Amino acid sequence: MAAEVILVIEDDVHIGGLVVQVLREAGFAPALVRDVRGARDWSQQGNKPAAVLSDLMVAGSAGPAQLPAELGKIFDGAPLALMTGVPPRRRAALGVTHQRVVEKPFELEALIATVHSMVAAPRS
C-alpha cells in the first residue's frame, strides 16, 4: 500500500524540514512547498495530497482568515491543519475560525496524531 501524501506548506526551512522528517518516519510521503504559489504549482503538476499541513502566516494568501478556503479550492477540500504560534485570541481577532490547529511549538506525537486523524476522516 502506498504511503499517504501529505503536503506541508511552511516557509521556515527548519520547521518544514522537521515536519517532513517526522512525517516520513511515521510512514507518510510528505512533500514540502514554501508558499501558496508553490502549493498551487504542486497541484497543477497533478499532485493530490491526502491532507495538507500549512503554516497560518504563509506567503501568497489573501490573509490568515482566507487561507483555509483558498487551500480548499486548490486541493478540492483535502483535510487541512494549520500550524501556528499565534495564540487563540489573536487568531480570533484575525478572523481565523478553522478548528484543526497544531500549536507551535508542537509535540511530535500531536503532529502525527493530527495527520492520522485527517487521513482517516471522510472527505468533505
CA 3 to chain CA mean position, Å: 17
pTM over 0.75: yes
Q: What is the pLDDT of residue 2?
A: 72
Q: What is the pLDDT of residue 19?
A: 97
Q: What is the CATH number of domain 5-120?
A: 3.40.50.2300
Ranges of each domain in the chain: 5-120
State which residues of the chain have pLDDT below 70. Answer: 1, 123-124
List the beta strands (DSSP E) in 14-122.
29-33, 51-55, 80-84, 101-103
The 10s digit of each residue's pLDDT in 66-92 is 999 999 999 998 999 999 999 999 999
